[in-house]
Amino acid sequence: HFEPFSSSLLRTPEHIPQHDVIMVYSRDPENAAKSCKAKGSDFRVHFKNTRETGAALKGLYLPRAQQYLQNVIEKKEIIPFVRFRYGVGRKAQLKQTPSKACQGRWPKKSAVFLLGLLKNAESNAELKGLEVEKMKIEHIQVNQAMHGRRRTYRAHGRINAYMSSPCHIEMWLVEDSEPVAKADDGGAGKKAQKKLKKPLQSGATAE
């Protein structure tokens, strides 16, 4: 006996469990209300170049970081290579940077990816009502992703691995508060230190 199809057996989108994607960061900012985040996974861009580019951005304000990356694309400024520096050529342009490194590159693709991520962070900051000009990159981290596997064909019928080195990028920016002006004590602190009692050679204290 054939039973008619029951509509109760149909799994509609409402019955399909929806799993919210939770973006997990390695660490979170202290003040979440004054910060904005941005993250991307499995970017098809070299891990080593992107790591060095991200390290050069840490501590910069958002407008300066965007201008810096744009200058790197145009080869007006350079990225110093500090950790993954072996085989990297020496560049005279590094004399213009505060870094003591003598090896650097202009990783264009890494700069383009980071510019897009900074644009995402800028939009998140505007959505939270934060001042974009005061946003400072306090945390940026680049991790290795799973290698992409391909193959290349060599002489005499051999096959070698031909793998890519993608990466994950995460960052958060914090709205920098107004710098507190240092109080002018007129040098009284230094004078007070000079008047401290000095021990004598005999062990007694000078009056």
- Per the structure block, which two tokens stand in for 85? 């520096």
Cα–Cα distance measured from residue 53 to residue 43, given in angstroms and rounded to the nearest whole number: 14
Crossing angle (nearest 10°) for helices 47-57 and 62-73 = 140
Cα–Cα distance measured from residue 190 to residue 180, given in angstroms and rounded to the nearest whole number: 21
Q: Which residues contact 8 (CB under 8 A, 6 or more apart)?
A: none
Q: Which residues contact 174 (CB under 8 A, 6 or more apart)?
A: 29, 31, 34, 35, 135, 136, 138
Q: What's residue 202's pLDDT?
A: 62
Cα–Cα distance measured from residue 157 to residue 92, given in angstroms and rounded to the nearest whole number: 44
What is the pTM (predicted TM-score) of this model? Answer: 0.75
Q: What's residue 7's pLDDT?
A: 46
Q: What angle do CA 80, 82, 83 make, to 5 degrees?
A: 140
pLDDT along the chain (207 residues), means of 10: 48 54 84 93 96 96 96 96 95 92 95 96 94 94 96 97 96 82 59 57 59
Cα–Cα distance measured from residue 119 to residue 174, given in angstroms and rounded to the nearest whole number: 15
Q: What's residue 9's pLDDT?
A: 47
Q: Which residue has the tokens 């090896």?
A: 103
Cα–Cα distance measured from residue 58 to residue 44, given in angstroms and rounded to the nearest whole number: 22
- Per the structure block, which two tokens stand in for 143? 């991790």
Three-state secondary-structure class, residue 148? strand
